[in-house]
């Protein structure tokens, strides 16, 4: 017998799951988020280190723009954004560019000379094409579409944008200029994905034009904002491991936690891999869920390395976000393409630098092999860092990855720190670009998360969270326009 019942239970507490839960709670659904209790930061000695950095899309027409407006959270997020003089930098062989408002043309001319005009022309065209996604992200339809008619409308909106972006990318690759290699790597760095389509590349390159916006507190800042909005609307957040999903008459009716507690659920949105859901459903798992599990593959894992150093170890005028392209002619992953994210200097004059990379794989990797691959990746990143921060080792305080079962690297005389018991954490998988749909074969079980739009990065997570909320509210019998600003505003 269920101890409690909810209109909606959201499995997972990543960005997409929290966006979905918050929108549904503000629409009036009694909502529970069952998360993994995975922190956005962890503590080593006096230092709070990020699990993963976040580059937040702020361009008008982006998925973040729509979500923030519907939650009336634009001003709250703006207070969490840092506004440095130089927003970001690109470091590649024989190329170093400062990015920010109206900087691109001058920087390209300084670095490239007579080739600058051709680069700028193609970059401008990429910016035009990037807007091709705006109608999809601003429409009333889920993206990707759900149902025959919605899929048809989404296809109409996307067909021309995809064709134009493909032509632009083909032309860029045929050019004698190395621009396409640089842009491919920039997209992989921004989207944390080693293989993306031309339209996603155009979107990412457009975002780099002015530089991504760093957040104070990384993922913590967004999580705190969404959880505040969720709980204000009556939603709940708790940690819990699910051992079974109960099914009755083709619908999920309950879920059982590892504690033995049983919860009733009118419907479920899951930011979980289909294979995991099929295992929880057992013999009652629909064929559709099995097909979805077979249709997507793991192509990598997100890796993070944190280093703490004295401010004197940073090059002068280093931007808070640096895209490092070490080998443009090789695959855009591992130590060939990664980003460095600088925190703000603390009261003791120290800075946290977070290095984010994608560890490429072909399918799932067992724990022992994954550890060995992480060690190799860390060693490769360490060598590349010296090209960007030549003197960082002289000023190193500690170095540590939350994904490796190793003690932090602490130079002599700096002391030692105990690693939290909940580390190492499982690495976040990177799913194949094809993605998947929201529907699962069970009437009230909907998917969301990075697995739906894996090649769109943070925007993909936001779009899939919004779309899953639309599907959930439609199942609950809410009006079609439930996410329009005037409706959401009434729940403020």
Rounded CA separation 113/110 (Å): 6
Residue 2 has pLDDT above 80, yes or no: no
Q: Are 314 and 307 in contact (CB under 8 A)?
A: no
Predicted confidence at residue 331, as pLDDT, reads 93
**Of 11, 213, 133, 47, whose CA–CA distance to 463 is shortest?**
133
Q: In which element (H, E) is residue 10 found?
A: strand 8-11
User: What angle in degrees, to the nearest 10, is found between the helix axes of 198-210 and 179-191?
Assistant: 90
Q: Please identify, in words, the CATH class of the domain defined by 4-41+219-295+432-489.
A: alpha beta
Rounded CA separation 286/175 (Å): 49
E strands along 336-467, which residues? 337-342, 350-360, 396-400, 429-431, 445-447
Burial classification of residue 119, based on how many CB atoms lie within 10 Å of its CB (0-12 exposed, 13-18 middle, 19 or more buried): buried
Rounded CA separation 287/441 (Å): 7
Predicted confidence at residue 11, as pLDDT, reads 95
Domain ranges of the chain: 4-41+219-295+432-489, 117-209, 297-431
pLDDT in tens, 421-456: 888 988 999 999 887 889 998 989 999 999 999 988
Kindly indicate the confidence band of residue 490, based on its pLDDT and cuts at 50, 70 and 90.
very low
Rounded CA separation 409/402 (Å): 12
Predicted confidence at residue 485, as pLDDT, reads 43
Return the biggest CA–CA distance within the chain: 74
List beta partners, residue 49: 42
Rounded CA separation 457/316 (Å): 30
CA distances from 449 to 9, 204, 211, 293, 398 (A): 15, 19, 25, 14, 33
Rounded CA separation 87/336 (Å): 22
- Cα 305 to chain centroid, rounded: 17
Overall average pLDDT of the 253-260 stretch = 90
Predicted confidence at residue 294, as pLDDT, reads 87
pLDDT in tens, 126-161: 989 988 888 888 788 888 888 888 888 888 888 888
Residue 104 has pLDDT above 70, yes or no: yes
List beta partners, residue 337: 325
Residue 489 has pLDDT above 50, yes or no: no
Rounded CA separation 196/198 (Å): 7
pLDDT in tens, 375-399: 999 999 999 998 899 999 999 999 9
Rounded CA separation 40/37 (Å): 9
List beta partners, residue 256: 244, 262
Rounded (to 5) percent helix, strand, coil in the chain: 40, 20, 35
Rounded CA separation 27/134 (Å): 24
Overall average pLDDT of the 151-177 stretch = 87
Eight-class DSSP state of 94: T
Residue 486 has pLDDT above 70, yes or no: no
Cβ atoms within 10 Å of 232's Cβ, excluding its own: 13
Residue 417's Cβ-side half-sphere holds a number of Cα atoms within 13 Å equal to 21
Kindly indicate the confidence band of residue 276, based on its pLDDT and cuts at 50, 70 and 90.
very high
In the chain, count H helices and then E strands: 15, 19
Q: At which residue do the structure tokens 């998917």 appear?
A: 447
């Amino acid at each position: 017998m269920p101890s409690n019942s909810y209109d909606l239970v959201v499995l997972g507490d990543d960005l997409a799951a929290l966006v979905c839960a918050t929108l549904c709670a503000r629409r009036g659904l009694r909502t529970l988020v069952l998360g993994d209790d995975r922190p956005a930061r962890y503590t080593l000695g006096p230092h709070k280190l990020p699990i993963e950095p976040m580059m937040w899309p702020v361009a008008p027409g982006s998925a973040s723009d729509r979500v923030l407006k519907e939650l009336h959270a634009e001003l709250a997020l703006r207070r969490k954004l840092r506004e440095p003089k130089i927003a970001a930098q690109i470091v590649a062989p024989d190329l170093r560019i400062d990015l920010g408002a109206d900087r691109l043309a001058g920087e390209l001319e300084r670095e490239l000379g007579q080739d600058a005009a051709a680069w700028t022309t193609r970059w401008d065209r990429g910016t035009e094409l990037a807007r091709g996604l705006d109608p999809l992200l601003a429409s009333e339809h889920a993206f990707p579409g759900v149902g025959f008619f919605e899929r048809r409308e989404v296809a109409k909106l996307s067909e021309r944008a995809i064709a134009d972006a493909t032509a632009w990318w083909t032309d860029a690759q045929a050019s004698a200029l190395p621009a396409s290699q640089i842009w491919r790597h920039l997209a992989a760095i921004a989207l944390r994905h080693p293989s993306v389509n031309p339209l996603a590349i155009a979107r990412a390159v457009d975002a780099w034009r002015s530089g991504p916006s760093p957040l104070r507190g990384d993922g913590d800042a967004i999580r705190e904002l969404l959880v505040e909005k969720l709980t204000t609307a009556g939603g709940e957040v708790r940690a819990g491991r699910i051992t079974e999903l109960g099914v009755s008459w083709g619908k999920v009716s309950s879920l059982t936690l590892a504690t033995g507690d049983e919860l009733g659920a009118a419907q479920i949105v899951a930011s979980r891999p289909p294979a995991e859901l099929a295992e929880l459903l057992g013999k009652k798992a629909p064929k559709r869920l099995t097909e979805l599990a077979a249709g997507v593959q793991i192509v990598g894992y997100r890796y993070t390395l944190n280093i703490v150093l004295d401010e004197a170890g940073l090059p002068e005028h280093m931007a808070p976000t640096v895209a490092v392209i070490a080998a443009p002619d090789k695959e855009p992953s591992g130590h060939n393409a990664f980003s460095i994210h600088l925190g703000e200097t603390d009261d003791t004059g120290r800075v946290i630098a977070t290095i984010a990379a994608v560890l490429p794989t072909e399918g799932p990797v067992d724990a022992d092999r994954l550890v060995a691959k992480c060690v190799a990746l860390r060693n490769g990143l360490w060598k590349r860092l010296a090209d960007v921060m030549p003197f960082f080792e002289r000023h190193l305080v500690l170095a540590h990855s939350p994904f490796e079962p190793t003690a932090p690297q602490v130079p002599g005389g700096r002391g030692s720190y105990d690693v939290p018991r909940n580390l190492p954490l499982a690495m976040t998988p990177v799913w194949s670009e094809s993605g998947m749909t929201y529907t699962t074969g069970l009437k009230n079980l909907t998917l969301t998360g990075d697995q739906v739009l894996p090649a769109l990065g943070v925007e993909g997570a936001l779009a899939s969270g919004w779309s899953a909320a639309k599907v959930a509210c439609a199942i609950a019998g809410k009006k079609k326009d439930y996410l329009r600003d005037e409706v959401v505003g009434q729940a403020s």
